[in-house]
A and B are shown apart, each in its own frame.
Chain A
């Protein structure tokens, strides 16, 4: 309560900016909704539980999407919950389609919009072949960027389009939801002989954006780091780089590092306990308690042949910016 910013703002704005109001409103709303049940065990108890669960990040489970995306904390909590609940799916080695991931998301949030899942899949699949299979980690990290920074990415897309069109982005940035604009492969049909935009110019615009942006943005230093490696890059190249950047992941704080993604000893322990309870399977469950003894599934089916190729392409796009499409786009 005594942070210095507090003095810079009127109380109400401060509370609003810190989303305290959101939670207070929601708490009252929840109270209203379940007033019979809650009145049985005390309103003080309810508020305690409510704010505890907010702290633990369990308050977003099975809530409506409008609430889940309402605050950065909620988003991070949702990402974490998703990871924790479906880590086992990834561990099992299943490659799933965008729709199936969407279904998993809907298990946690019944009205989760398909559009967001599609966008996340587009990051993984580089905007093509939307019904391809994706690995859990690829999807999760892409989804993290898309979900957590969705407003920021909208603005970035607008900037990117403007840069491609050769406009001066600083004058025209309107962070509206211009979804759909960025869906066209930018390189096609544009006057530029090179794919994408120049990284340094792009960064300037983004820095500008981060300063003014009221929604959460990735730390500018890290954005700079991402952009400093390359000369030119495309929009999706940028998003892929963002999603792969472990610093950004750390800054976001919802998910563990990629290497530890499948690692959650507490939950594994819990799972073993649950498996032991599977009716009629006590023996077999205790016989092979190791998680490593999973019945072997047919791993990568369609995915495996093209997957490495695809990654290679991404790397190409990142590293030198020049592409195989150079020759065809002379106008």
Chain B
């Protein structure tokens, strides 16, 4: 023995070994086999080269380190045998004969070195077969060589035969070697497993690096415990039915696309399927003893059935195509799993990767070859909690969003009904929804048509939770950042609410949707007081049909931007509407209308078009009309103030002066104001009443006047005649002077 040499090798081993095959043969069940021994007495010159080749796959992952590997140097000194152990590990086979159970799995070889009988390895130990020792002669069968060993060889290595690098293209016929336990065909060109069915005591069969395309010819090898078929061309796992004792199955580096036909291997403890073409993992039932499963370097996207492996401890999924935790969620249900790798998968790039895994797999002791610390576990649970909260929050958000959407939908439907846009179908639909609120599909169906892009994400539970809302809510108020959105006329009442100073101050955009403009006009004074900073007004579906309706906006404090959506606002179709807005609201010196910057030319144009109207309105209106019209405007402003006077006496004064200033700013267009339809009709009624009264009054007056006139005329007609008659009577009376005198005197005396 050359301990030094092995030490150096074992040092390598510590680096290289990590995984691939980890074989423990329980000698307890096979007492006679435990006598098998081998010596590492033949060193082949090509040792290291072969090692590299053979362990190509393992070298890949050597960086990962492996906690399970015995830390070599101190222990190697203590025991030659342990070194041997490590050497055997080199070739991927760590054969440990442990009398004890698997409990101290990783360290067993060290703790009980004396018990372990490690037998051959494949390459370094055992006879180096060469032409000298082995006679490969052509037999009677044309194509198969027949192998015969010299008797001393047979005695020396009675239970093992190594035929590596013999450029074999077929399995030779092996005669008289019925007690062979170990057979090695590494690095040949064998395409088919043949001629070994007589070796029924075979325990170990190594066909690494051949050209085998199908697993076959093994049905008689009932004792076989280790089958190494790495680096072949196998496409399918098959014909393993009789290998019930199989302990280690190495199929790495083949072309297998599917895990199948393994469910009977209830003793299998190590299965290596690395570097195959697996796209997913399932069909793992029945592998009741499997402790290690290597699936590196496949194209696996999801893993199933792992929770059916009661003994699985190590699972290697590195370098696959797993991108979500959901696709491997069965791992969380495995209670035995303690070691797992995901490196080289998309999932490992995710920020949530580590804590999600740790949170869901509390039993894990190692993740990606690193020990999981308590700290990490704690972190994971904290992060997971946060995640959960976030999820709940987002769920709530989406719930709210959905509620909003449904409400808006509902408001829109109401609006359409109100506008008589949908003739007969809509009321029907409406009624159906309200009649059968427990029928989600109905509601869902109706919403799909309007918002097809959103409904996909909605789960049915959400819909059912929202149904009641969608039926009852007729309006929606929403403050989003600096935007106050009002849907449905009921939303206008929200302006009466007590808004916090902060919110009110922040709101600079107010949008109205599905509200009759005339209703908006009535709350404009409130808007002005409650949201003094609102600069941008948006109108959509508000029934703006006339230019004069814009007059109503003049009473606001300031408007910077105006957006009138053409939808439901026919006024936007007019050529002149923009100019009229600019003209009428010129005191705001607006920046944008419908998103377009207002230019100087626009301003001039507006003035050119409507300047005369303002001039005529202000200069030609008789004074009493001017006063009454301006008075109306002022009165309107006061009306609201009177209502709220009790609450804010200070504000009234301010408003008062404000309105005066405002009126002063553009007297010549203040006469152009807008009274809502209802209010105007009210006024017309009032005027009608007054007119009726005036008519009667005037009628009486005029009749009286004409009567007087008629009497006067009649009198005028009669008067000359009357006068003459009067004179005539007087003359006749005084014609007889003396008698008249007498009469007069008599009258005087009578009076006394």
Report which A residues bind B (CB closer than 8 A).
Answer: 10-12, 15, 21, 24-26, 28-30, 32-34, 37-38, 41, 46, 49-50, 52-53, 56, 58-59, 61-62, 64, 66, 81, 84-89, 92, 94-97, 99-100, 103-104, 106-107, 110-111, 267, 270-271, 274-275, 278-281, 284-285, 291, 294-295
Among the 9-residue stretches B372-380, B405-413, B557-565, B599-607, the one with 4 or more Cβ atoms under 8 Å from chain A is B599-607
Interface size range of chain B in the complex: 35 or more
Contact of B703 among A12, A66, A106 (CB under 8 A): A12
Query: Are B628 and A278 in touch, CB under 8 angstroms?
Result: no
Asked if B332 CB lies within 8 Å of chain A CBs, one says no
Asked if B74 CB lies within 8 Å of chain A CBs, one says no
Contact of A88 among B547, B600, B611 (CB under 8 A): B611
Query: Are B624 and A38 in touch, CB under 8 angstroms?
Result: yes
Segment 570-603 of B: residues with Cβ below 8 Å from A: 570-571, 573-576, 586, 589, 600-601, 603
Query: Are A58 and B675 in touch, CB under 8 angstroms?
Result: no
Query: Are A96 and B622 in touch, CB under 8 angstroms?
Result: no
Q: List 5 A-B contacts (CB under 8 A).
A: A89-B576, A97-B573, A278-B586, A281-B604, A294-B605
Residue among B576, B620, B624, B710 with most chain A CB within 10 A? B624
Q: Given A92-B605, A103-B548, 7 other A-B contacts at CB below 8 A?
A: A33-B628, A58-B620, A66-B684, A97-B573, A107-B547, A267-B612, A270-B611
Residue among A29, A33, A94, A284 with most chain B CB within 10 A? A29
Report which B residues bind A (CB closer than 8 A).
Answer: 545-548, 570-571, 573-576, 586, 589, 600-601, 603-605, 607-617, 620-625, 627-629, 631, 671-672, 674-675, 680, 684, 687, 690-691, 693-695, 697-699, 702-703, 705-706, 709-710
The 6 A-B pairs at the shortest CB distance, nearest first, are namely A11-B706, A53-B622, A274-B611, A85-B613, A58-B620, A29-B694
Q: List, in ascending order, chain A residues with CB within 8 A of B684's CB.
A: 64, 66, 111
Query: Are A87 and B612 in touch, CB under 8 angstroms?
Result: yes
Query: Are A29 and B627 in touch, CB under 8 angstroms?
Result: no
Q: List, in ascending order, chain A residues with CB within 8 A of B576's CB.
A: 89, 94, 96, 100, 103-104
Query: Are B548 and A110 in touch, CB under 8 angstroms?
Result: yes
Query: Are B620 and A37 in touch, CB under 8 angstroms?
Result: no
Query: Are A37 and B600 in touch, CB under 8 angstroms?
Result: no
Query: Are B675 and A88 in touch, CB under 8 angstroms?
Result: no
Query: Are A52 and B622 in touch, CB under 8 angstroms?
Result: yes
C-alpha gap A100/B580 in the complex (Å): 12
Q: List, in ascending order, chain B residues with CB within 8 A of A103's CB.
A: 545-548, 571, 574, 576
Cβ of B295 to closest chain A Cβ, rounded Å: 71
C-alpha gap A85/B621 in the complex (Å): 13
Contact of B702 among A24, A38, A66, A97 (CB under 8 A): A24
Query: Are B548 and A84 in touch, CB under 8 angstroms?
Result: no
Contact of B694 among A15, A25, A38, A271 (CB under 8 A): A25
Contact of A99 among B574, B680, B695, B709 (CB under 8 A): B574
Query: Are A92 and B600 in touch, CB under 8 angstroms?
Result: no
Q: List, in ascending order, chain A residues with CB within 8 A of B695's CB.
A: 25
C-alpha gap A61/B620 in the complex (Å): 9
C-alpha gap A28/B690 in the complex (Å): 9
Q: List, in ascending order, chain A residues with CB within 8 A of B631's CB.
A: 34, 37
Query: Are A295 and B575 in touch, CB under 8 angstroms?
Result: no
Query: Are B612 and A270 in touch, CB under 8 angstroms?
Result: yes
Query: Are B612 and A46 in touch, CB under 8 angstroms?
Result: no
C-alpha gap A278/B602 in the complex (Å): 11
Q: List, in ascending order, chain B residues with CB within 8 A of A96's CB.
A: 574-576
C-alpha gap A21/B628 in the complex (Å): 23
Given contacts A50-B624, A92-B608, A294-B608, contact A33 B690 (CB under 8 A): yes
Q: List, in ascending order, chain A residues with CB within 8 A of B614's CB.
A: 274
Query: Are B574 and A100 in touch, CB under 8 angstroms?
Result: yes
Query: Are B627 and A34 in touch, CB under 8 angstroms?
Result: yes
Q: List, in ascending order, chain B residues with CB within 8 A of A24's CB.
A: 698, 702
C-alpha gap A94/B578 in the complex (Å): 14
Closest Cβ neighbor of B628 among chain A residues: A34
Residue among B609, B625, B693 with most chain A CB within 10 A? B625
Query: Are B548 and A106 in touch, CB under 8 angstroms?
Result: yes
Query: Are B627 and A37 in touch, CB under 8 angstroms?
Result: yes
Query: Are A88 and B604 in touch, CB under 8 angstroms?
Result: no
Contact of B604 among A94, A111, A278 (CB under 8 A): A278
Q: Is the interface of A mostly helix, strand, loop or mixed?
A: helix
C-alpha gap A106/B548 in the complex (Å): 7
Query: Are B612 and A61 in touch, CB under 8 angstroms?
Result: no
Q: List, in ascending order, chain B residues with CB within 8 A of A64's CB.
A: 684, 687
Q: List, in ascending order, chain A residues with CB within 8 A of B702's CB.
A: 11-12, 15, 21, 24
Q: List, in ascending order, chain B residues with CB within 8 A of A12's CB.
A: 702-703, 706
Cβ of B238 to closest chain A Cβ, rounded Å: 79
C-alpha gap A145/B608 in the complex (Å): 28
Closest Cβ neighbor of A298 among chain B residues: B575
Q: List, in ascending order, chain B residues with CB within 8 A of A62's CB.
A: 617, 621, 625, 629, 671
Cβ of B684 to closest chain A Cβ, rounded Å: 6
C-alpha gap A107/B571 in the complex (Å): 14
Query: Are A107 and B690 in touch, CB under 8 angstroms?
Result: no
Q: List, in ascending order, chain A residues with CB within 8 A of B627's CB.
A: 34, 37
Query: Are B615 and A110 in touch, CB under 8 angstroms?
Result: no
Query: Are A81 and B616 in touch, CB under 8 angstroms?
Result: yes
Query: Are A29 and B574 in touch, CB under 8 angstroms?
Result: no
Query: Are A271 and B548 in touch, CB under 8 angstroms?
Result: no
C-alpha gap A34/B608 in the complex (Å): 33
C-alpha gap A104/B579 in the complex (Å): 13
Query: Are B622 and A49 in touch, CB under 8 angstroms?
Result: yes
C-alpha gap A59/B659 in the complex (Å): 27
Cβ of B682 to closest chain A Cβ, rounded Å: 12
Q: List, in ascending order, chain B residues with CB within 8 A of A30's CB.
A: 624-625, 628
Closest Cβ neighbor of A271 among chain B residues: B611
Query: Are A88 and B612 in touch, CB under 8 angstroms?
Result: yes
C-alpha gap A127/B620 in the complex (Å): 37
C-alpha gap A328/B600 in the complex (Å): 57
C-alpha gap A99/B546 in the complex (Å): 9
Q: List, in ascending order, chain A residues with CB within 8 A of B573's CB.
A: 97, 99
Q: List, in ascending order, chain B residues with CB within 8 A of A284's CB.
A: 600, 604
Q: List, in ascending order, chain B residues with CB within 8 A of A15's CB.
A: 702
Closest Cβ neighbor of A87 among chain B residues: B612
Closest Cβ neighbor of A108 among chain B residues: B613
Query: Are B623 and A279 in touch, CB under 8 angstroms?
Result: no
Query: Are A32 and B694 in touch, CB under 8 angstroms?
Result: yes
Query: Are A88 and B690 in touch, CB under 8 angstroms?
Result: no
Query: Are A58 and B698 in touch, CB under 8 angstroms?
Result: no
C-alpha gap A197/B142 in the complex (Å): 122
Query: Are B575 and A94 in touch, CB under 8 angstroms?
Result: yes
Cβ of B348 to closest chain A Cβ, rounded Å: 63
Q: List, in ascending order, chain B residues with CB within 8 A of A58's CB.
A: 616, 620-622
Query: Are B706 and A34 in touch, CB under 8 angstroms?
Result: no
Query: Are B620 and A56 in touch, CB under 8 angstroms?
Result: yes
Given contacts A12-B702, A34-B624, contact A106 B546 (CB under 8 A): yes
Given contacts A99-B570, A104-B547, contact A111 B694 (CB under 8 A): no
Q: List, in ascending order, chain B residues with CB within 8 A of A89's CB.
A: 576, 609
Closest Cβ neighbor of A86 among chain B residues: B613
C-alpha gap A85/B583 in the complex (Å): 14
C-alpha gap A144/B679 in the complex (Å): 30
Closest Cβ neighbor of A51 among chain B residues: B622
Cβ of A16 to closest chain B Cβ, rounded Å: 9
Q: List, in ascending order, chain A residues with CB within 8 A of B690's CB.
A: 29, 32-33
Q: List, in ascending order, chain A residues with CB within 8 A of B575's CB.
A: 94-96, 100
Q: List, in ascending order, chain A residues with CB within 8 A of B675's CB.
A: 110
Query: Are A281 and B600 in touch, CB under 8 angstroms?
Result: yes
Cβ of A240 to closest chain B Cβ, rounded Å: 25
Q: List, in ascending order, chain A residues with CB within 8 A of B545's CB.
A: 103
Contact of A61 among B547, B608, B621, B698 (CB under 8 A): B621
Q: List, in ascending order, chain B residues with CB within 8 A of A25's CB.
A: 691, 694-695, 698
Contact of B691 among A29, A53, A97 (CB under 8 A): A29
C-alpha gap A111/B705 in the complex (Å): 35
C-alpha gap A108/B566 in the complex (Å): 25
Query: Are B691 and A275 in touch, CB under 8 angstroms?
Result: no
